[in-house]
A and B are shown apart, each in its own frame.
Chain A
Amino acid sequence: MIVRARNGLVCLLVGATLGLLGSIGGAGAVDLRFGIDNPDLGKLDPHATVVSGDRYIIQSVFNGLVRFKPGSGDVRQIEPDLAERWESSADGKQWTFHLRPGVKWHHGYGEVTAEDVVFSLQRAANKDTSSFASDYSEFDKVEAIDPLTVRITLKEVVPSLLGLVVNSLGGNIVSKKAVQALGPNYAQKPIGTGPFMFQEYKPQHSVTLVANPEYFRGKPQIDRVIFRYIQSQGSRDLALQSGELDITGGALGQDWIERTRKMPGIKVETPGLPEIWWLFLDQTTKPLDDLRVRQAVAHAVNRAALIAFRGEASHRAARSVIPASHAGFTADVPLLGHDIAKAKALLTAAGYPNGVTLKVINTNRPSLREVIEVLQSQLRQAGITLDIELVDHATYHARIRKNQSQAVLYGANRFPVADSTLTQFFHSRSIPGTPTAVTNFGHCKVADTEIDAARVATDPKRQDDLWKVAQQKVVADVCAVPLMEVLYTWARREKVDYGYEFKDTPSGGPLITEATRIAP
Chain B
Amino acid sequence: MWRHLAQRLLFSVVTLTLVTSFVFVIVRVIPGDPAQTMLGDQASQEALVALRSKLGLDRPILVQYLVFLADVARGQWGLSMTNGRSVLGELLSVLPSTLELTFAALLIGTALGMPLGVLAALRRNRMPDYAVRIGSLAGISFPAFVSGLFLLLAFAIYLPLFPVINAGGDTLGERLHQLVLPAVNLGLIVAAYVTRVMRSAMLEVAQQDYVRTARAKGVPEPVVVWIHCLRNALLPVVTFLGLYTGILIGSAVLTEIVFSRPGLGKLIVAALNQRDYTTLQGLVLAYTIILIVINMITDAILGLIDPRIRHYRV
B220 within 8 A of A: no
Task: Provide the bound-state CA to CA distance between A290 and B280, in Å.
Answer: 45
Stretch at the interface among A146-154, A294-302, A430-438, A511-519: A430-438
B15 within 8 A of A: no
> Could you mark each residue 438-462 of chain A with 1 if its beta carbon is under 8 Å from any beta carbon of chain B, else 0?
1100000000000000000000000
A245 within 8 A of B: yes
Q: Please give, as numbers and ranges, the residues of chain A lying within 8 Å of B51 by CB-CB distance.
A: 127
Q: Please give, as numbers and ranges, the residues of chain B lying within 8 Å of A203 by CB-CB distance.
A: 90, 93-94, 262
How many residues belonging to B are interface residues under a CB distance threshold of 8 Å? 55
> Could you mark each residue 414-436 of chain A with 1 if its beta carbon is under 8 Å from any beta carbon of chain B, else 0?
10000000001000001010111
Smallest CB gap from A137: residue in B: B44
Q: Is the CB of B47 within 8 A of A398?
A: no
Which of chain A's residues 216-232 have a Cβ closer than 8 Å to chain B? 228-232
Cβ distance A231 to chain B, nearest Cβ, rounded Å: 5
A184 within 8 A of B: yes
Q: Which of B31, B49, B269 contacts A398 (CB 8 A)?
A: B31
B225 within 8 A of A: no
Q: Is the CB of A235 within 8 A of B31?
A: no
Q: Please give, as numbers and ranges, the residues of chain B lying within 8 Å of A67 by CB-CB distance.
A: none
Q: Is the CB of B45 within 8 A of A435?
A: yes
Cβ distance A200 to chain B, nearest Cβ, rounded Å: 10
Task: Provide the bound-state CA to CA distance between A127 and B39, in Å.
Answer: 10
A29 within 8 A of B: no
In this complex, the member of A42, A245, A395, A434 whose beta carbon has the largest number of chain B beta carbons within 10 angstroms is: A42
Q: Is the CB of A436 within 8 A of B152?
A: no
Q: Is the CB of A438 within 8 A of B149?
A: no
Q: Please give, as numbers and ranges, the residues of chain B lying within 8 Å of A238 by CB-CB distance.
A: 149, 152-153, 156-157, 164
A308 within 8 A of B: no
Cβ distance A175 to chain B, nearest Cβ, rounded Å: 18
Q: Is the CB of A397 within 8 A of B32?
A: yes
Q: Is the CB of B260 within 8 A of A41?
A: no
Smallest CB gap from B39: residue in A: A131
> Could you mark each residue 179-206 of chain A with 1 if its beta carbon is under 8 Å from any beta carbon of chain B, else 0?
0000010011000000000000011111
Q: Is the CB of A228 within 8 A of B45?
A: no
Cβ distance B104 to chain A, nearest Cβ, rounded Å: 18
Cβ distance B238 to chain A, nearest Cβ, rounded Å: 32
Task: Provide the bound-state CA to CA distance between A442 and B278, in Å.
Answer: 34
B37 within 8 A of A: yes
> Could you mark each residue 38-63 of chain B with 1 if its beta carbon is under 8 Å from any beta carbon of chain A, else 0?
11111111110111001000000000
Q: Is the CB of A239 within 8 A of B164?
A: yes
> Could you mark each residue 69-80 of chain B with 1 if its beta carbon is under 8 Å from any beta carbon of chain A, else 0?
000000000010
Q: Is the CB of A398 within 8 A of B40?
A: no
Which of chain B's residues 16-33 have a Cβ closer than 8 Å to chain A? 30-33
Q: Which of A134, A228, A399, A432 contacts B47 (CB 8 A)?
A: A134
With A235-B259, A397-B33: A202-B168 Cβ-Cβ less than 8 Å = yes
Q: Please give, as numbers and ranges, the residues of chain A lying within 8 Å of B153 by CB-CB distance.
A: 238
Q: Is the CB of B32 within 8 A of A398?
A: yes
Q: Is the CB of B263 within 8 A of A204?
A: yes
Q: Is the CB of B42 within 8 A of A414?
A: yes
Task: Provide the bound-state CA to CA distance between A184 and B145, in Å.
Answer: 37
Task: Provide the bound-state CA to CA distance between A397 and B37, in Å.
Answer: 9
Q: Is the CB of B41 within 8 A of A439?
A: yes
B274 within 8 A of A: yes
Q: Which of B32, B41, B160, B267 contacts A242 (CB 8 A)?
A: B160
Task: Provide the bound-state CA to CA distance between A206 and B167, in Å.
Answer: 10
Which of chain B's residues 203-255 have a Cβ closer than 8 Å to chain A? none
Q: Is the CB of B157 within 8 A of A204?
A: no
Q: Is the CB of A229 within 8 A of B260?
A: yes
> Could you mark each residue 145-177 of chain B with 1 if its beta carbon is under 8 Å from any beta carbon of chain A, else 0?
100010011001100100111111000000000
Smallest CB gap from A392: residue in B: B273
Smallest CB gap from A52: residue in B: B40
B185 within 8 A of A: no
Task: Provide the bound-state CA to CA distance between A235 and B152, in Å.
Answer: 8
Task: Provide the bound-state CA to CA distance between A94 and B47, in Å.
Answer: 27
The 9 closest A-B pairs by CB, nearest first: A50-B40, A394-B32, A204-B262, A437-B45, A398-B31, A203-B93, A239-B164, A395-B31, A230-B260
